[in-house]
């Protein structure tokens, strides 16, 4: 069902990053569900996490360990979120870090834990430990595709991308993976995404870049307005590329490539959203504030009635007006608003567009990639979000079995 989303192309190894995967059988059969990513000494590591007030045990622990500033490995399991598991869940997350640390010769606090899957069930630690045993001989720089597959839950396509930036005689590589398909409305965070580069980027700069790039990517997607208890994004920079110090211009190029990797990974989640048949951009321009533009964009992106109309390819654009009307924005005057879908005007200065016809609207709604654009004519702020439609398959996926 994914909308114009191909399996990952050629994934490039990142110097200083080795990956190993295994199938524990904890929930899924016949597929990998455990990943450890090891980072070379001296790597910088930044992350953002879900803002959920009921965040999972691994999130609490990873946030705490990350602050100690010496992360050297990430351990990720899929199938069990280890959320709403109380103090036992916290003990289990800590134990998973201890086990990985012992395998890799690290301190427990150098291992960041991540989980994704069903909320409210305890991890089966003996099964986890035995899966971990399998990893020993498997660490390799070439396992990025296997890693992308091991972290999937309801995803139908593995999500991964590599980019390179030429810096003098050296080449810097950025490779990232993400997973996510439902319960997607990151709030200053994301679903699981892990990105690594061999560029040498100090901690302060990497923190700043992470926040900025997440704001341009994962913080602009929504499938169903639901925010996960386990969202996390990590960017690691190993510095193994041996480029020497980067100039400001070179840093700008590397940042742009990282941001572009994050946008690819974030939009891949929307293209593979549960039951999605459309990839939709909601763009709001000329608002009085970015807050107003964001309020309008998310009001439209979260509206079940807009989303079912998109699914039906029904140009029932009255619902778009409804969603604008309920947006918690400060400065909206309908008399000033222009709305278009694709290249077709719906509303001009608050009045129905004279040249709109059902046929022209239908032609846009028939497309699999649609842009809905609001011009608020109030100022010069803007914002956009990416979203999907609401289909029978979304209900089936979330009602017919427990994911």
Residues acting as catalytic residues: 190
Applying the rule CB under 8 A, the residues between 266 and 305 that interact with a second copy are 302-305
Question: Which residue number, 72 or 373, has a Cβ lying nearer to a second copy?
Answer: 373
Residue from 31, 244, 352, 366 in contact with a second copy (CB under 8 A): 352
Determine, following the binding rule CB under 8 A, whether residue 396 of this chain makes contact with a second copy.
yes
Residue from 5, 19, 48, 55 in contact with a second copy (CB under 8 A): 55
Determine, following the binding rule CB under 8 A, whether residue 224 of this chain makes contact with a second copy.
yes
Applying the rule CB under 8 A, the residues between 228 and 257 that interact with a second copy are 228-229
In Å, what is the CA distance from 183 to each residue of 167, 297, 398? 39, 18, 10
Beta carbon of residue 53, minimum distance to a second copy (angstroms, whole number): 5
Binding-residue total with a second copy (CB under 8 A): 63
SS (H, E, C) the chain: CCCCCCCCCCCCCCCCEEEEEECCCCCCCCCCCEEEEEECCCCEEEEEECCCCCCCHHHHHHHHHHHCCCCCEEEEEEEECCCCCHHHHHHHHHHHHHHHHHHHCCCHHHEEEEEEEECCCCCCHHHHHHHHHHHCCCCECCCHHHHHHHCCCCCCCCEEEEEEEEECCEEEEEEEEECCCCCCCCCCCCCCEEEEECCCCCHHHHHHHHHHHHHCCHHHEECCCCCCCCCEEEEEECCCCCCCCCCHHHHHHHHHHHHHHHHHHHHHHHHCCCCCCCEEEEEEEEECCHHHHHHHHHHHHHCHHHHHHHHCCCCCCHHHHHHHHCCCCCCCCHHHCEEEECCEEEEECCEECCCCCHHHHHHHHCCCEEEEEEECCCCCEEEEEEECCCCHHHHHHHHCCCC
- Give the per-residue contact string, 176-215, with a second copy (x = CB under 8 A; - = no): ------xx-x-x----------------------------
Beta carbon of residue 49, minimum distance to a second copy (angstroms, whole number): 12
Question: Which residue number, 252 or 318, has a Cβ lying nearer to a second copy?
Answer: 318
Beta carbon of residue 119, minimum distance to a second copy (angstroms, whole number): 2
Question: Which residue number, 54 or 247, has a Cβ lying nearer to a second copy?
Answer: 54
Question: Which residue number, 253 or 308, has a Cβ lying nearer to a second copy?
Answer: 308
Beta carbon of residue 275, minimum distance to a second copy (angstroms, whole number): 9
Cβ neighbours of residue 151 under 8 Å, at least 6 residues apart?
A: 35, 76, 78, 116, 177, 179, 192, 194
Beta carbon of residue 81, minimum distance to a second copy (angstroms, whole number): 7
- CA torsion 240-245-248-251 (nearest 10°) is 0
Applying the rule CB under 8 A, the residues between 14 and 43 that interact with a second copy are none
Determine, following the binding rule CB under 8 A, whether residue 87 of this chain makes contact with a second copy.
yes
- Give the per-residue contact string, 317-336, with a second copy (x = CB under 8 A; - = no): xxx-xxxxxxx-x--x-x--
Beta carbon of residue 208, minimum distance to a second copy (angstroms, whole number): 26
Residue from 133, 290, 314, 369 in contact with a second copy (CB under 8 A): 314
Only one of the segments 18-26, 152-160, 201-209, 310-318 lies at the binding site for a second copy (rule: CB under 8 A); that segment is 310-318
- The whole-angstrom separation of Cα 241 and Cα 247 is 15
Determine, following the binding rule CB under 8 A, whether residue 61 of this chain makes contact with a second copy.
no
Determine, following the binding rule CB under 8 A, whether residue 309 of this chain makes contact with a second copy.
yes
Determine, following the binding rule CB under 8 A, whether residue 83 of this chain makes contact with a second copy.
yes
Determine, following the binding rule CB under 8 A, whether residue 123 of this chain makes contact with a second copy.
no
Provide the binding-site residues for a second copy, judged by CB under 8 A.
50, 52-55, 81, 83-88, 118-121, 182-183, 185, 187, 224-229, 302-305, 308-309, 311-312, 314, 316-319, 321-327, 329, 332, 334, 347, 350-352, 390-392, 394-396, 398-400, 402
């Amino acid at each position: 069902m994914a909308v114009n989303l191909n399996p990952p192309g050629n994934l490039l190894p990142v110097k200083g990053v080795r990956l190993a995967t295994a199938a524990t059988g904890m929930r899924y059969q016949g597929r990998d569900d455990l990943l450890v990513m090891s980072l070379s000494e001296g790597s910088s590591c930044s992350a953002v996490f879900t803002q959920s007030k009921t965040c999972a045990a691994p999130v609490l622990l990873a946030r705490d360990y990350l602050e100690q500033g010496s992360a050297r490995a990430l351990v990720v399991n899929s199938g069990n979120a280890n959320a709403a598991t109380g103090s036992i869940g916290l003990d289990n997350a800590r134990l998973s870090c201890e086990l990985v640390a012992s395998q890799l010769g690290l301190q427990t606090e150098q291992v960041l834990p991540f989980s994704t899957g069903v909320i409210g069930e305890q991890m089966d630690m003996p099964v986890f430990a035995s899966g971990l045993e399998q990893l020993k001989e498997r660490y390799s720089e070439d396992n990025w595709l296997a890693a992308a597959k091991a972290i999937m839950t309801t995803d139908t396509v593995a999500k991964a991308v590599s980019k390179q930036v030429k810096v003098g005689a050296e080449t810097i590589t950025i490779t990232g993976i993400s997973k996510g398909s439902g319960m997607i409305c990151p709030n200053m965070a994301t679903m699981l995404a892990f990105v690594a580069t061999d560029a040498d980027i100090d901690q302060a700069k990497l923190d700043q870049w992470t926040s900025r790039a997440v704001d341009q990517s994962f913080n602009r997607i929504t499938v169903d307005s639901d925010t996960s208890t386990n969202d996390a994004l990590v960017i690691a920079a190993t510095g193994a590329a041996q480029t020497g110090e980067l100039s400001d211009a070179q840093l700008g190029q590397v940042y742009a490539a990282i941001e572009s990797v994050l946008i690819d990974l974030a939009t891949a989640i929307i293209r593979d959203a549960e039951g999605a048949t459309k990839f939709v951009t909601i763009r709001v321009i000329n608002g009085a504030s970015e807050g107003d533009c964001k309020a309008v964009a998310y009001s439209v992106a979260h509206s079940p009635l807009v989303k079912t109309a998109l699914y039906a390819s029904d140009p029932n654009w009255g619902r778009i007006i409804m969603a604008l009307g309920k947006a918690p924005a400060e400065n909206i005057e309908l008399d000033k608003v222009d709305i278009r879908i694709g290249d077709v005007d719906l509303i001009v200065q608050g009045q129905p567009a004279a040249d709109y016809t059902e046929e022209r609207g239908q032609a846009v709604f028939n497309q699999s990639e649609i842009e809905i654009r609001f011009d608020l004519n109030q100022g010069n702020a803007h914002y956009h979000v990416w979203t999907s439609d609401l289909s029978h398959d979304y209900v089936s996926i979330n009602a017919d079995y427990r994911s």
